[in-house]
Amino acid sequence: MKKETVFQARLARHYDELKWLYCELYQNDRAAFDRLCGMLEEKAERRPADLARLDERRLADPDWYKGNSLTGMMMYADLFAKNLRGVQEKLDYVEECGVNCLHLMPLLDMPRVRNDGGYAVSDFTKVRADLGTMEDLEHLTAECRRRGISVCLDFVMNHTSDEHEWALRARNGEREYQERYFFYEDSGIPQQFEQTCPQVFPTTAPGNFTWLPDAKRYVMTTFYPYQWDLNYRNPAVFHDMTGFLLDLANRGIEIVRLDAVPYIWKELGTTCRNLPQVHTIVRMLRMICEIVCPGVLLLGEVVMEPDKVTPYFGTIEKPECHMLYNVTTMATLWHTVAVRDVFLLERQMERLSRLPSEYTFLNYLRCHDDIGWGLEYAALQERGMEEIPHKKYLNDYFTGVYPGSDARGELYNDDPSLGDARLCGTTASLCGLEAAAGRGDRAAVQRAIRCDQMLHGFIFTLSGIPMLYSGDEIGQLNDSRYRDDPRLAADSRYVHRGPFCWEAAARRREQGTAQQALFDWIGRLENIRRENPVFAAGARICPRGTQDSSVLCLVRERGNRRLIAWFHFSPEPVTVLAGEEGAFIDLLAPEEGTIRETVTLPGYGMRWLVPEEREERKG
């Protein structure tokens, strides 16, 4: 079938709904809609042949990403291997990590200073010069595709850098480009927005608008003054941003991470978060990808309270994002480490168990960003934990201020007036490895390693895609050298954004090192997960109560397959009742033999138990 015919057939499947949504959003501007369709056809025509073949394979297996075959890793190209060519040269290591979904952190052109870690884009059509070129990106994605590795890239939807061409022309008074942002001559409308629109960073970037003395205008800046919010009421913004997204897809990006997507529609008198028009735009983007590049997935970055997250999946009939971050579970997991009581995590698992099995989450322990304590405080209050004092306890615990804590994190955007702050640090340092190794305490080092292993085991137990943060596979520690760089010193997130330590990675082959223990453990988790059908898509996962508040039990069932996962959030060993009759073996330690009636867990231990007779049949 010719490309034209393929495009027309795909467009026809979505045409009525796409036109309805577009015309509803843009005041029935049918001429603009026709221009959009023309642009989509042009992008479809430019889709390379090998990517078009990939599209067809993915269409034949639309649930390809939902099973137990994918393991992700997020990394900064420059921190990992200096540039894109360096990353390509290091793909053997990526494969050795068992990774086949590579999330490259922001790498499009950005200012050298004031770039928010790459989330202030100055040109969506260029790679940052020190990282390489668009051709280098295309070569990297092609080699990844050859190896079966899907590449994910951030797409910053909400704003541009104030050094973007649109912003520069807007600042110079060009009305056409001022209309791509939110420009106001006086403070009247900005003050109305401020009455209902919360501040994202009240300490470091207060307010939602910035005064531009040279332009004599206010401009909306929800995040930082150098990140100007785009006005999606203007169809030209939607057209051009959609075009940029499709160009990246045609360069071989297979997963597009929609950054800060809940913020992209602004409305006076509202919080400017999660508005219905946001879902309209995401639904249109989903249909557009299914028309032009159906092999591409949309990953939504929705760092919101739980009831605001799942709507970004859309519905089964009218889906939006293919995948979402499991941010609430991540925050609850670290809370559980600090309080050594699983009640809130068990509650979160119960809630997840009621969601449709079609929903796919990306599960992670750490990422490039801070940890915000978006917990279920109503439930905590029932246990006597008030929000502000509890946040202070968590931050004291994970910065090592709390007596007896070996965690070593740093605070970000600390706001003493609100008693609030966010937390930064690598997984290993938050688990206590940095402090224990620093004082040469071997027993404490082993506890920290077990905690790290147990937490990784937890995310590999869940359905969805486990996502590693580069360096966690070797227990990389915090890097405080960021404080010596004036460009970075004010942003404590760089404590976990240090250069990848290849010397430490070399120790992954040395028996008895922390690097070897963590690297081999994660590899074992990956292998068991990929080989055992109980981890395949469609499994039902439910928590089961235990008699110990520090122990979480999850039962994973798929068909006649069954896995009972145990996680211990305390440093002292414990023995608990198995909770059912029968003989079990631990997939992670089959050499220990049969387990009956009771389950023994070391401090921060975990087990993956399956019925013994089933394992015999498998053999």
Question: Which of the residues are catalytic?
Answer: 259, 301
Q: How far apart are CA 96 and CA 519, in angstroms?
A: 10
The alpha-helical segments, DSSP class H, found in 26-97 are: 30-45, 49-60, 77-81, 84-89, 91-96
DSSP letter for each residue of 354-370: TS-TT-EEEEES--SSP
How many degrees, rounded to 5, is the angle at CA 17 between CA 16 and CA 19? Answer: 65
From the list 277, 291, 361, the residue with the least C-alpha distance to 322 is 361
Bridge partners, residue 108, by sequence: 127
R_g (Cα) of the chain, nearest Å: 25
Bridge partners, residue 596, by sequence: 583
Distances (CA, A) of 257 to 151, 249, 543, 545: 11, 12, 30, 36
How big, in percent rounded to 5, are the helix, strand and coil portions of the chain?
45, 20, 35
What backbone phi and psi angles, to 5 degrees, belong to 598?
Answer: -130, 155
Bridge partners, residue 611, by sequence: 584
Given a contact cutoff of 8 angstroms between Cβ atoms, the answer to whether 579 and 607 are in contact is: no
Extract the tokens encoding 546.
């235990």
Q: How many CA atoms lie within 13 A of 146 on its CB side?
A: 9
Amino acid letter, 188 = G
Q: Other C-beta atoms within 10 Å of 419: how many?
A: 14
Q: How far apart are CA 28 and CA 68, in angstroms?
A: 44
Distances (CA, A) of 483 to 341, 428, 476, 479, 498: 35, 20, 18, 9, 11
Q: How far apart are CA 519 and CA 73, in angstroms?
A: 13
Which distant-in-sequence residues (6+ apart) come within 8 Å of 393 by Cβ? 338, 402
